Structure 1
Amino acid sequence: RVRGGRQKYKRRLDTENNPYLGLTLPPPTKKPLTKIVS
């Protein structure tokens, strides 16, 4: 139970801190890409 919840929380932080996802979300020029990723 704690593992699953923790992973979900950590994944969310990783996605925001990750350079891979961070590069696809921050750039406004890739608006279509962000929509697909979302």
Structure 2
Amino acid sequence: MKMGQRLLVFALKASKRFAEAFLSLRHGQAPNMQS
């Protein structure tokens, strides 16, 4: 159970970082894609 909890926390942190990187990347590419 302890291992699963650690995995869950790791997954949450990883997904949060991935989401932030994806949003910043998308935000940076948006103007280039339109023009």
TM-score between the two structures when normalised by the length of structure 2:
0.48
Which structure has greater helix proportion?
2
**Structure ranking higher on relative contact order (CA contacts 8 Å, 6+ apart):** 1
Please tell me whether Structure 1 or Structure 2 has the larger radius of gyration of its CA atoms. Answer: 2
